[in-house]
Amino acid sequence: MSGQGRATTRRGSAAALASWTALAAVLATVAVVVLPVVRFAYRSPGLHVALETANALIALLLAYLVYGRYRQRRGVQDFLIVQAMWVAAVANLVLTALPAALGIGSAEDGSRWAALALRFLGSIALAVASLAAPRTPVRRPARVVLPVALGVVSIGALGAVVGGRWPQPVSAALVGNTAVPRLSADPVVLAVQGLAVALYAVAAIAFTRQAARRSDELLRWIGAGCVLGAAARVHYLLFPSLWSDYVYTGDVLRLGSYLFMLVGAAREIRYYWTLRTRAAVLEDRRRTARDLHDGLSQELAYIAAQSQLLVTRPSDVDAAARIGAAAARAQDEARRAVRTLARPPDMPFLEMLREAVDDLAERYGIKAVTDLDPRTPIDAADGEVLLRIVGEAVRNAVRHGDAQRIDVRLTRDPRRLSITDDGRGFAASSPAGRRLGGFGITSMTERAAGLGAELSITSEPGEGTTVWVTWS
């Protein structure tokens, strides 16, 4: 499929979800208005508390998940979505669910005005987020968070202190034998709900358009959730709520709004981990390709060059030894690459090191002993380099020192890796020492320097050799 075709599919997907959600909300509203069997409100104090608690918990979870995205991108849009969610969570839990559950709220207190004000503040933040440029960075988030937090605390405190001095936002009266009260709302409540309908409608359109342009799964579902949020406020206009003894159709639609947004966050997380997995696999492939190029390919090129030299200079007795050593190193590189591809990607470094040492010991018929401090911090990139240094040191010990035992030790304080053998050892100024230097010390030294570490070698004739890799 072409890029234009994929873009059209994404636009259709986001628009289709919002459109189908809007159609379902319209049908639900018509059913409630037209069908006598379907009512706007049902008396169930416990269910009302459960719905408000669920709304609050979902809003907090959504705020936490979007905050993780904000920390990566530092965009103003994600930042404002987080603010909208935690403000809504405070309104739903602290000012609605808890007072109703504990029986400390009443029709005359100010908590309902405060909850209405905070929900309206959250809808403003959500609408502003939908219109904000996603990539615009937040320079000083504290300048926004602190005033919002202060406003939330002030609204809640004002509702608690002033209390019954305010008029009731919604009054109820039972008419005849009906189980559903007739509610009368303050004009301010109706005005706030009407404005909230407009704010959620704007947010739904803006988020859906952005989701289509950017193929953003989170915004796709937030846009559809805002459609349900607007529909919920329409129901609150038709049948004013804020009465904790009853569950309203608007409450159900509002729960659906939060659930849609939560689905978007969950899909965003799944997409994020999929990308991370793909990136990890790609990085492993690149590292393997780089290792094959730097190791196996270079050794094969060296073998080819030495073979040509041996053809032109048959008397060069050292050429065969150099070719044999290079072939052995090439074989080790190939085995190491195969082992790297076969092992689990999350295999700890210490386990990889033990496996590599045991493999070398089995191949060369020697005894290997490891003493590794599990508290020593080694990341994956450094671990690959250390495995190469260990392999080079063991090969040198066996081939040039005739070693029969290798001790590999890793300590935390000081952070140091040592490879000790019981071979013949050498003096640095001797021919054996100079020959050993040409077979791997330079390579090990360069690799250690790449880690910011220092490589040193101690050896005496007949006393074996120790290779040290020390970090500052």
User: Could you say which of 277, 305, 326 is where a domain stops?
Assistant: 277
* 303 domain residue, yes or no: no
Same domain, 254 and 140: yes
Exposure class string for 345-357: b at 16+ Cβ within 10 A, else e:
eeeebbebbeebb
Does one domain contain both 65 and 169? yes
Residue 356: CATH number of its domain: 3.30.565.10
Distance of alpha carbon 118 from the chain centroid = 30
Asked if 372 contacts 409 with a C-beta cutoff of 8 angstroms, the reply is: yes
What gap in Å lies between CA 38 and CA 271, rounded to an integer?
Answer: 40
Domain that holds residue 417: 343-471
Please indicate, yes or no, whether residues 103 and 200 belong to a single structural domain of this protein.
yes
Residue 288 falls inside a structural domain: no
Split at pLDDT 50, 70, 90, the class of 153 is confident
| 127 found inside a domain | yes
Predicted local distance difference test score (pLDDT) of residue 49: 86
pLDDT value of residue 177: 47
Q: State whether 167 and 261 are in the same domain.
A: yes
Residues 231 and 366 in one domain: no
Mean pLDDT value across residues 417-421: 94
Q: Are residues 271 and 407 in the same domain?
A: no
| Long-range Cβ pairs for the range 144-148 (8 Å, 24+) | 144/79, 144/83, 145/83, 148/83, 148/87, 148/121
Asked whether residue 374 falls in the same domain as residue 230, the answer is no
Instruction: Measure the CA–CA gap between 384 and 288, rounded to whole angstroms.
Output: 10
Establish if 292 belongs to a structural domain.
no
Asked if residue 326 is part of any domain, the answer here is no
Quick check: is 129 in a domain? yes
Q: Are residues 270 and 354 in the same domain?
A: no
Average pLDDT of span 60-76: 87
Q: Which of 234, 256, 277 is the last residue of a domain?
A: 277
CB-based contact 129:63 (threshold 8 Å): no
Task: Name the most confidently modeled range: 90-104, 267-281, 413-427.
Answer: 413-427
Contact 203, 126 (CB under 8 A): yes
Residue 93 and residue 200 in one domain: yes
Residue that is last in its domain, among 277, 297, 332? 277
* pLDDT tens digits for range 180-238: 555 566 777 788 889 999 999 999 999 999 988 888 888 999 999 999 999 999 988 88
Same structural domain, 90 and 227:
yes
With respect to residue 45, please indicate whether it lies within any of the assigned structural domains. yes
Any domain includes 65 = yes
In this structure, the answer to whether residues 141 and 221 fall within a common structural domain is yes
Look at the chain and report how many structural domains it folds into: 2
Q: Does residue 143 share a domain with residue 9?
A: yes
pLDDT digits (tens, 9 = 90+) for 156-188: 666 655 555 555 655 555 444 455 555 566 777
